Amino acid sequence: MGMMTNKVLAIIPARGGSKGLPKKNILDLNGKPLIAWSIEASLASKYITKTVVSSDSDEILNISKKYKANTLKRPTELASDTASSEEAVINAIKELKKAGEEFEYLVLLQPTSPLRDRSDIDNALELLFDSEATALISVCETDNKLLKAFKENEAGYIEGVSNNTFPFARRQDLPKTYMSNGAIYIIKIDEFLKYKTLFTKKTISYRMSKIKSLDIDTIDDLKEVENYIGKDS
């Protein structure tokens, strides 16, 4: 594969504040801060050429440095609850560009997906490199029952969420449905800067199991992941 020269930038966005689970990005998971799992996976990837943690928190940045990530202090106005990851990522890309560093692909790795590992990242990148697509999102299969749902339109009448035949179809005749699991987003940087979104008209999916898709939002999620890792070792 002649793709080794593609410059691939990984950004791990990690805000200091978290409503649901305070300091969740640096909570201990099996002897390592949560964010370290994503940093190590990124550094082990054979395609990622630079790994940057973007955070408003010095504590997170210092921990990230210990785990050998590059770090970028996020401007305060991009650290609020209303600022999107996208804005922080655009800021990081621009800062790197000022320093003369340009990349072709962006890989966004959320620190709350610790079981997404190096092989997931590399498999997802290869899938994208070998396709005509401009973006990739990691997903987990979800119950397709939602396709049988109705929504109310402006006139006050109901219609199918997707179309009007699905609500009356047999489950096995419905298409499979997938949810983004938040673990991996990859996009060509020029597309991302043009549209400021991680989704393009040519987006493919990388499918992951329910377990690997676990996303840490609560202390129970953390315990579930710990149990799983404990079984594994």
Confidence of residue 230 (pLDDT cuts 50, 70, 90): confident
Confidence of residue 183 (pLDDT cuts 50, 70, 90): very high
Report if residue 221 sits inside a domain: yes
What's residue 76's pLDDT?
A: 76
pTM: 0.92
* Residue 86: burial class (beta carbons within 10 Å; 0-12, 13-18, 19+): middle
Report if residue 3 sits inside a domain: no
Q: What is the SS3 assignment for 17?
A: coil
Residue 176 identity? K
Residue range 48-59, pLDDT digits in tens: 999 999 999 999
Report if residue 12 sits inside a domain: yes
Work out whether strand 70-73 and strand 48-55 pair parallel, antiparallel, or are unpaired: parallel
- What's the rounded Cα separation, in Å, for the pair 155 and 165? 20
Tell me the residue range of the domain where 89 lies. 8-140+179-232
Burial 198-216 (b: 16+ CB within 10 A, else e): bebeebbbbebeeebbbbb
Number of folded domains in the chain?
1
Report if residue 105 sits inside a domain: yes
Report if residue 80 sits inside a domain: yes
What's residue 2's pLDDT?
A: 46
Mean pLDDT, all residues of the chain: 93
Domain of residue 69, CATH code = 3.90.550.10
Confidence of residue 79 (pLDDT cuts 50, 70, 90): low
Residue range 90-122, pLDDT digits in tens: 999 999 999 999 999 999 999 999 999 999 999
How many CB atoms are closer than 10 A to CB 48?
A: 22
Residue predicted with more confidence, 18 or 215: 215
pLDDT of 80 > 90? The answer is no
Report if residue 14 sits inside a domain: yes
- What's the rounded Cα separation, in Å, for the pair 129 and 5? 12
Report if residue 154 sits inside a domain: no
Q: Give the helix ranges, DSSP H, for the chain.
A: 34-44, 58-66, 85-98, 118-129, 189-195, 219-232
- Reading the block at residue 197, the tokens are 């979104």
Report if residue 146 sits inside a domain: no
